[in-house]
Structure 1
Amino acid sequence: MPFIRATFRTTRRSPFGSTTLRAIMLTAAAIVATVGTISPVLAQPAWKPDRPVTIVVPYVPGGGTDASARATAKLLGEQWGQPVLVVNLPGADGLIGTRKVTEAKPDGYTLLLQTPAIVLTKHAPSFTGTDPLTALVPVTNIAQSPGVIVANGKFPATSLPELIAYCKAATTPCSMGTGENVAKLFGQQLKAEVLPNLIVVNYKGTAAIITDMIANNVNFAVTGVASALPHQKAGTLKIVANQGTHRFAGAPEVRTVVETGLPQYEYTTWFGLFAPKGTPPAVTQAIYAAVREAMGNAELQKAITSAGAEPLVNTPDEFAAQVRKEDARFTALAKRYPLN
């Protein structure tokens, strides 16, 4: 122990007795020996997959959820040196794909990419009492994106207040298309609070809503930015309102619901990774760390922003707190405005 010997040689007289000094040196030696014993354990590498990993997207291909999943999977695969496969398993408002993950082995090889719609599963009439969140653990966010209110390209409104005013004055009731449960909840809220004559039409997917809005068979809808932007650029659809807290780069001219005095209709969706309950914390931490590293890649950032979203990575604990907050908010709304 050269460091300890050198230290005590520089002292002319120890304030301790020789027995005490000997004890201190022996204790120090024991500490050094112990550290030397445990340091290889502490230095063990983080979990890393040694076979393909699957990310289940419980929605149809082509949306913002799917685009974010594929861009993330590509870079995780490069980082891990293992294929990361994206599998779309749509159906039952996302429950089919979600259940696939809840039933998987909790070892980090099967992950789920979900949105806030997952917190409303237990409030849907068809799934009362079914709460997939109890069988999952949050891992991390990868992106967030505002909800948008979209209408036919010739619709006269350019903000949510204008849309409400138009529908109130219209001789024929306005119709709203809804896809996932969050949009259905928003439709029920809008109908109960300001548009009692609103006709809410439930669809099985965003593609059918887009088709009907272009054909003017339904007046407006809530969709993701990724689905709306190409049609806005083509002029066939119009983004009437941004439900986020701030304007987004893809359509900076569109005002937010907060700006127009209707913050109660704010909705920002997140795209988050979940793992089956029972997945070791060391595994979820390693996945989070890999996503965080991947998010520094300009290619991934571009893919996410092109889908109308913003990169967002948080720790498993931070993401869990975010999910709990969203759960509380949507549970309160679902009690006031039950889903059909």
Structure 2
Amino acid sequence: MKIFHSRLARTMTRALIVAASLTLALAARAADWVPNRPVTLIVPYSPGGGVDAQARAVAEQLQRMWGQTVIVENAPGADGVIGTRKVMNAKPDGLTLLVQLPSLTIIRHLPTYKGPDPVSQLTPVSAFSSLPAVVVATSSVAGKNLGEVVRSCKALADPCSLGTTEIMARLLGRALSDEAAMPNLVVVNYKGGGQLVADLIGNNVKLGIMGLTPVLPHHKSGALKVVMTLGDKRSAALPDVPTAVESGFASFNIGTWYGLFAPKGTPPEVVQGIAAAVGRAVRSEGARKAFASVAAEPLGNTPSEFAAMVRVESERYTALVKKFPLE
């Protein structure tokens, strides 16, 4: 019996040594990995918005570290499907990456979408930042918070309209209509944040749900007003604006991350290498200044940490889609 236990102990020790050696070898290969050709970051949204601005900040830092060209390519359309498909179908060599946000987890629920769940065809690499989405209102609608704005909208002769720029916001617009008892709320989808902001300032729509970046300067000037941030943590850029939790809108306790995905089948050492580079990039002075200018907070987490975030959002939005089916 002692001989058996001794052999078992030696076998387990050898297994642990082998596993540790493999882990160290993978880490070493990841640390050594750099692209040997230009890298393309596909942004499936229009240029000029918060996603695009942050993608370019990250691309600039990666280019400096790798000594290799990093191109940001905008491929908007079909609620982010066009750009997302480009990366799903790309060669899994780390040279074509996708910049996405939680809307990625909703694509499979689109009535017009045909094909596999994009989440299953992509590998999470790293979430490089977080930035709250906001509910914004025109100055023509009375009220300082969302509750007051909703009451003002209900008092208007015509139904209030709400602009969105992607499917996550469109789904949340449906949730707002339900929670605020505004069955006549008209949800209008825009191709980009610039066009939506222009129509808000022009009073063509009364409300909007979108990223903070294109709204912030107009909130500061008084042309528009942010009446609620999504989630449960106040934004450092908007310390006086209440959160969804504080405002009593439970469905809006949602965070927004911005991250990189690689095609399914990308070698683990390549994924780890890119994630490590992203972690260094977002801690650089240049990236931190760029993120601060758009009120974003740097993250730069590991592939496993990012994958866990994606699973949480996938479950959250699947539940919302069941309650508010997309049309």
> In which range does the TM-score fall when normalised by the shorter chain?
0.7 to 0.9
What aligned pairs does 1:82-161 form with structure 2 within 5 A after superposition? 82-127=68-113, 130-161=116-147
Structure 2 counterpart of 1:131, which letter? D
Residues 41-60 of structure 1 mapped to structure 2, 5 A cutoff = 42=25, 46-60=32-46
Q: Which runs of 5+ in 2 are unaligned?
A: 1-13
Mapped to 1, the partners of 2:111 and 2:194 lie a distance apart of: 24
Distance in 2, matches of 1:174 and 1:155, equals: 10
- Bigger Cα displacement from structure 2, 158-167 vs 330-339: 158-167
- Residue 53 of structure 1 deviates from its aligned partner by 0.9
The correspondence for 1:186, drawn from 155, 172, 177, is: 172
The alignment covers a number of residue pairs equal to 305
Q: What are the equivalent positions in structure 2 for 1:288-307 lying under 5 Å apart? A: 288-307=275-294
Three-state SS of the structure 2 residue aligned to 1:104 is: coil
* Secondary structure at the counterpart of residue 131 of structure 2: strand
Among candidates 299, 304, 319, match of residue 317 of structure 1:
304
Q: What is the RMSD of the two structures over their aligned residues, measured on CA atoms?
A: 2.1
Identity level (%): 50
The alpha carbon displacement at 1:156 in A equals 1.3
Superposed displacement of residue 115, structure 1: 0.7
Equivalent in the alignment of 2:230:
243
Partner AA of 1:290 in structure 2: A
Partner of 2:218: 231
For 2:60, what is the secondary structure of its paired residue? helix
- Structure 1 window deviating more from structure 2 (260-269 vs 320-329): it is 260-269
Equivalent residue letter for 2:137: A
Q: Deviations over 1:155-201 (max 9, x none)?
A: 21211221222223333221111220011101111223321121222
Asked if the contact 1:153/1:232 (under 8 Å) is kept, the reply is no
Kept in 2, the 8 Å contact 1:64–1:308? The answer is no
201-210 or 104-113: bigger deviation: 201-210
Aligned to 2:8: none
CA shift, 1:138, in A, is 0.3
CA distance in 1, matches of 2:68, 2:92: 18
The 10-residue stretch of structure 1 (55-64 or 171-180) with the greater mean CA deviation from structure 2: 171-180
Structure 1 stretch 255-264 or stretch 300-309: which is displaced more? 255-264
CA distance in 2, matches of 1:76, 1:131: 29
2:157 to 171, 183, 198: 171
| C-alpha distance after superposition, 1:199-246 (max 9, x if no partner) | 222222222221211111111010110010121123211111111321
Structure 1 spans left out of the alignment, 5+ residues: 1-30
Residue of structure 2 in register with 1:20 after alignment: none
